[in-house]
A and B are shown apart, each in its own frame.
Chain A
Amino acid sequence: MMTLTRRGFALGTAGAAAAMALARPAIAQSEPIRIGWLGSLTGPLAAPGVGFDRGMKWALAEVNGAGGVKGRHVEIIVRDTQGDPTKAVNATQELISRQKVHAMWGPGNSGEALATTPIMARQKMPDLHPCVVNSLIDPEKYPNAFRLAPSNTQWDDAVRHYTLDIVRAKDVAVIGDSTGYGTSAVKDSVANFKKDGANVVYQATIDPNTSDVTPDMLRMRDSGAKALVIWSVTTGLNSRLMNARAAIKWDVPIIGHPALGTGEVGKLVDKPANWENVYMVGYRSCSYGADGKLPARSQEFVDKIKGKIELADTSLWWVLCAVDAVNVITRAVAETGSTAPEALIGAWNKLDPYPGLFGNYRFSPTQHNGYPTDEVVMSAANSQRDLVGLGCEEQTKGWGRGRAPTCLLRPC
């Protein structure tokens, strides 16, 4: 009978530990790539989340259908945050600690991201998100966070320049919904309008569930506003504002957030005419050019998803942006052969440029705002054609006075 000596036990234990350590990289390189997705999929702020979700699922099927990334399967672990920052924080902690995700996409709206970004930074979790609030990107404070959409400054510049230089309205009312995003966007927008010499005659935030906004609209009219600037992702509130404007027979231009042009707004306006004279931030990748065509990459995607992804009730950019998110993550894994946080963050810091569907992103160690300003455009909100793109003819390039070269697309 073999006897177990103390020396034998110690050697055996050390050998087993060494074998496990050697095996770990092999396990790590064959385990699925887990992407956490913090989506506001239900609730009044769900419109973008639903669009992003469709893009995520499409991209996931494409990557796994092509054999994954170096043989590694990709998994997306979704948590519905319902637009609630508290739920988003809990979901973030659960995804990092229990689900052990390798990278994160989201949250999908800024109010939640304001709460989750510091947590992800502390955990060094690589995070891509589409949230626009400026303070969410700071390579020193949050070296793990990268933005795959325009910042609020880029949106705000486009809207402000359009209001002041094209509509030529100097007296403006600025309103938003009462979410974290809406409140912050109104504050920034008002400050920038004032800086540019405009007269902000009215500013307010409105509860997104308000059933009738006629009194708010009357207040804005009485304040002497010549243009309304709206920062809200809530389709119900946006359409109610348009209906109330029509009810009081006030033909003032409405200018603002991309959600002003989603298909859901089209369904909720009392009549199509109420959607006239509304202009929204758009993107070159989702707009028809002077030749009446979408950019080649976008057209190819739209052809591919025809009948497979519903676009009538969402915005194409939400879908494209989420597809890009999955591709940016998987490309970083393919390049580095690793899902370690520092490997992914290092790879993203060198993306210059990355030709995505939604935009040509550029990141560097000191610049995590990846969306190019010259791909932000303004479009008529009701000019959606074939349920995919907005605008059709380039009208103006540049805004004069040395401003950002945002271009304006005329409605079809």
Chain B
Amino acid sequence: MLSAILASGLAVGAVYALIGVTYNVMFSASRVMSFTAGQLGMLGGVFGALFISRLGLPGVVGFALTLAACALVGVITEIVAVRPVLGRLEQHLYVLSTLAFALMIQQFTAIEWSTEPQPFPRLFGIGSGGPFDEKFWLPLLACAAVIVGLELLYRRTLVGRAFLAIAEDNFAARALGLPERNLRIASFALAGVIGGLAGFAGGELLLANFANGGVLNFYGFVPVALGGLGNSRGAVVGGLALGVFQQAANFTVGGVFASVAVFVVFIVVLLAAPSGLFGPQQARRV
């Protein structure tokens, strides 16, 4: 019983964590909370099912195409919903623009794909529904890969350091000659890849369903708030904790009360630590 709760809790939590990281990657480059993060997760599942199940492409090709398609959606988000409002960040117009674009993505998917959940293909055929089924460990594997990948990108590559530079001080980075706009576009493409990976890895659990976008937007935001805005490590810890707590609440109180329990804890945590459990990234002298 404990293993079942842990398996599903960690798996769902890993998907939430990845959506939280998606929020953060977009935020770091633009100071915009883009509410398309959950839709990118939804699209990861839908594109995966489309390429592999409907079009019959091999899993590897379907996976690569899914990530590419989600990266493209990330770039379009930057051009359509973020760039036009960057000059007026203090008016929070991005809330409207990104929410509107997210709704457009969701409705378009509902019309073109299906309003009913569609099956996501079994990728490796490992496990038979128990705690060690691939649908539980694939999101965890994806989450681990993203953490390692981001660490390597940010610490070991010039491009990664440039990302960090514009995240820390946009004006100073531009003054140093860094191509801020191109780096922002690349960040949104990277966010698209991470969001798409979340949906693809969690596809067997969440199914390919247009309605997942709203759910992921909502529950993916919680780890960002819990872990601290812009703090991806905090988002991962917050996401995993949220998933396990949610499933434990499902088991102990059940039904719709589980959602109530999750948000009671969320509000209590934010009252106690308004900047999140891990706080925002600290400013430092450079």
Contacts and interface: CB of A to CB of B under 8 A. Distances in A.
Given A212-B11, A215-B5, A50 B115 contact: yes
A206 B256 contact: yes
Interface string A34-59: 00000001111011001000000000
Contacts of B4: 214-215, 218, 247-248
A219 interface: yes
Given A178-B256, A268-B207, A216 B250 contact: yes
Tell me which of A41, A214, A246, A268 has the highest count of chain B C-beta atoms within 10 A of its own C-beta: A214
Interface residues of A, number: 36
Given A211-B12, A211-B206, A216 B212 contact: no
B133 interface: yes
A313 B259 CA distance: 31
Interface stretch (B28-36, B72-80, B116-124): B116-124
Contact residues on B (Cβ < 8 Å of other chain), bracket:
35 or more
Nearest to B206: A211
A212 B256 contact: no
A246 B129 contact: yes
A205 B256 contact: yes
B251 A209 contact: no
A50 B116 CA distance: 10
A264 interface: yes
A207 interface: yes
A350 interface: no
Given A43-B115, A209-B211, A212-B11, A218 B129 contact: no
A16 B248 CA distance: 76
A82 to B, nearest CB: 9
B178 interface: no
Contact of A236 (B117, B251, B255): B117
Contacts of B129: 243, 246-247, 270
B97 interface: no
Nearest to B7: A214
B8 A206 contact: no
Given A235-B116, A267-B119, A207 B251 contact: no
Interface of A: 41-44, 46-47, 50, 175, 178, 204-207, 209-216, 218-219, 222, 235-236, 239, 243, 246-248, 264, 267-268, 270, 313
27 contacts: A42-B115, A43-B115, A44-B211, A46-B115, A50-B116, A175-B255, A178-B255, A204-B256, A205-B255, A205-B256, A211-B202, A211-B206, A212-B8, A212-B12, A215-B251, A216-B251, A219-B251, A235-B117, A236-B207, A239-B117, A247-B130, A248-B4, A264-B117, A267-B118, A267-B119, A268-B119, A268-B207
